[in-house]
Amino acid sequence: MGQGGTDWRRSLLDVFSRRGVRGTGYGLVVGFFIFLVLLPTLFVLSYLFTGWNDIQTVVLADRGRMDIIWNAIGLSFGVAFFVTFLDLIFGLPLAWFIVRRNFRGKSLLNTIIDSPLAVPTAGLGISVVLFWGVIPNLANRPAGAWSLFGGTSSPFWILVLLHLTTTFPYMVRSLAAILDEIDLEYETAARISGASKLTAARTITLPMFRSGLATGAILCLAKALSETGGVMAALTLISGRVLDENSALNGTALIGVWKGSYDAGTSALLPALTFVSVLMILFSLLLLVVVKVLTLKFHIPWKKVWPSAEARLSKGAAPRVRDGATFFFLAIMVLVPSFFIAAYMATSSPTQGVDWGMFTNGLLLSFGIAAAATAVDLLLGIPLAVLITRGKFKRLGGILDTLVNIPYIVPSAALGLSLGFFYRNMGIRGFDILLVTLAHVAFTFPFVVRNVVGGMEGLDRGYEDTARTLGARPFQAFRRIIFPLIKPSILAGAIMAFTRSIGETGATISVSGNVQTAPVLIVNYIKQDPSTLRPRDLYTAGLLIAVLSIVTFVAILLMRFVTRRRRKNA
């Protein structure tokens, strides 16, 4: 029996190690990415060729409309840059604390950091404004930071505060996953030679960490540039009126406003809607390419050291102050604002019943779609990441590495519009759950690929070369050597994809109005018109958000527990 099992595995290994089989597998993966992820996401760009004359007439010739577009895009990129800078400043120390220290409750802390990702984005927008902003015409508000600092009605600052809740977990997760893969031997050798902790970390570890910085920066920029639902909710609340094109909008909010008018029958806005979507996509892609090139190619003079100063900063009060500031930032800027809407459950009373049967069905549907999308992401995203980082054709790998960023930099409103147009043009109707699942695969697929690529770029190729020298086949070297080393990156990508799918609202509604996931049900209680925003709606939304977040929190915790247990057994 044992010999038969060994022969079966050896035969299977021989099949997967054949060049033709591997080539066919990679071809299928690339084909899936192009035709079911990339093409549906960019289908809206086809209007550039079919409607260019309309764009020239309706958009380019209208100076007022062009001013609106440039102002919105400028606000988007200004907020994205500033948020990514803050994420890096506070995210790196937190990731370092998680990876370099062993303590009880590490999995719990990791899950707490990820928990804002499970909150529907529209809910985050209202929750952040309740905590930090000024909301006209809303009484009975719970005391938040606004009661101490006066609050803000600035679109720039409210969007910065909102995006911190959505991007900070991405930065910490990406940095921690790749830091966990860096060998400690060099850093330890430097410490034995007399270097302080700060000197060893700055001169030895951080230069090996550039791929992690690039991955974290790309994810944060992409999320800040693509978010729509939370932005629409936040800007609506601080403006005190229904948003229109004359409001202070960023790029995604402008797309959302014009898309709403287009859905209502204003077909003349299609050229403007398409043009601003194209600009956001192209500028975002250019920015992400520049960020990655600069992060990976730009060399800071790490070798210069200041032994006395760095030794003092490595011990005593300095590390405690750094860690304290980091956890204070996590609590006050990320966690509390994310869940502050739940304060309505303590300050208000329910005035209407909740249809728990409908919500339970929506919750099960949300988890089913998220699980299916994440499974597809892992099954096909890991091979694509291997092709990008280890493929023989480096130019192809570079092209795919750039293209894989596109789906998550497309604004949610534009993504839903593009996916809807694509599937309607393909004649696919009547399979709403399947179409929504494919849509969720489209915008979650890059999270797995991006994290695994970052993990493999930071992995020493010597491990693989040694395995191949000892006679291991390519598939065997990956399964026995590479896969165990990149498990943290795979887990990080899976959690990001899963939580992103759980909290998505805009793309789900755009693709199908019949699929009532839990976030869609929650958004139904949150009105876009401030004059109709009632405390009872916020109470019900807060209650449902709390349930969804708790269930998602437990699911992520179990995912971490199972992965850690298997890793120990391995």
Instruction: Report the residue count for the chain.
Output: 570
Determine the residue type at 390: R
Residue with tokens 């165990």: 484
49, burial (CB in 10 Å: exposed 0-12, middle 13-18, buried 19+): exposed
CA angle 439, 452, 174 (to 5 degrees): 90
pLDDT score for 564: 63
The domain 23-569 having CATH identifier 1.10.287.3510: the answer here is no
Residue with tokens 């590495």: 401
Whether the Cβ atoms of residue 404 and residue 450 lie closer than 8 Å to each other: yes
pLDDT score for 1: 45
Residue with tokens 């980082």: 389
Is residue 133 helix, strand or coil? Answer: strand
Whether the Cβ atoms of residue 115 and residue 192 lie closer than 8 Å to each other: no
435/224 Cα distance (integer angstroms): 26
- Bridge partners of 152, per DSSP, are 133
Helices and strands (H, E) in the chain, number of each type: 32, 0
- Bridge partners of 133, per DSSP, are 152
Which backbone phi and psi does 240 adopt, to 5 degrees? 75, 15
CA angle 368, 365, 532 (to 5 degrees): 140
pLDDT score for 47: 80
DSSP states of 261-324: HHHTT-GGGHHHHHHHHHHHHHHHHHHHHHHHHHHHH----TT---HHHHHHHTSTHHHHHHHH
pLDDT score for 69: 93
258/413 Cα distance (integer angstroms): 10
CA angle 83, 255, 235 (to 5 degrees): 55
Q: Which two structure tokens, joined as six digits, stand for 214?
A: 């690039």
* CA dihedral over 154, 160, 161, 165, signed as positive or negative: positive
Determine the residue type at 161: L
Determine the residue type at 502: I
439/415 Cα distance (integer angstroms): 9
570's CB contacts (< 8 A; 6+ apart) are 484
Is residue 152 helix, strand or coil? Answer: strand
CA angle 333, 338, 341 (to 5 degrees): 125
Per-residue pLDDT of the chain (570 residues; tens, 9 = 90+): 444 445 555 555 555 556 666 778 888 999 999 988 888 888 878 888 888 898 899 899 999 999 999 999 999 999 999 999 999 899 988 988 888 788 787 878 887 888 887 777 777 888 898 899 887 766 667 777 777 777 888 999 999 999 999 899 888 888 887 777 666 666 666 666 666 666 666 666 666 666 667 778 887 888 888 887 788 888 888 887 778 888 889 988 888 788 778 777 777 888 888 888 888 878 877 876 777 677 666 655 555 666 666 666 667 677 788 888 999 999 999 999 998 887 767 776 665 666 778 878 888 898 899 999 999 999 999 989 988 887 777 788 888 887 887 887 777 767 777 887 787 777 666 678 888 898 899 889 988 998 888 778 767 666 666 666 655 666 666 767 777 778 878 888 888 888 888 878 777 877 776 788 888 887 776 655 556 666 666 677 777 777 777 877 777 777 767 666 555 555
- Bridge partners of 538, per DSSP, are none
339's CB contacts (< 8 A; 6+ apart) are 115, 116, 119, 127, 545, 546, 549
pLDDT score for 305: 61
Q: How far is CA 345 from CA 148, 212, 341, 351, 399, in A?
A: 21, 40, 8, 11, 49
pLDDT score for 86: 95
Distance from chain centroid for Cα 196: 35
281's CB contacts (< 8 A; 6+ apart) are 42, 45, 406, 409, 410, 414
pLDDT score for 460: 65
Whether the Cβ atoms of residue 457 and residue 211 lie closer than 8 Å to each other: yes
186, burial (CB in 10 Å: exposed 0-12, middle 13-18, buried 19+): middle
Q: How far is CA 539 from CA 238, 352, 382, 549, in A?
A: 19, 10, 41, 15
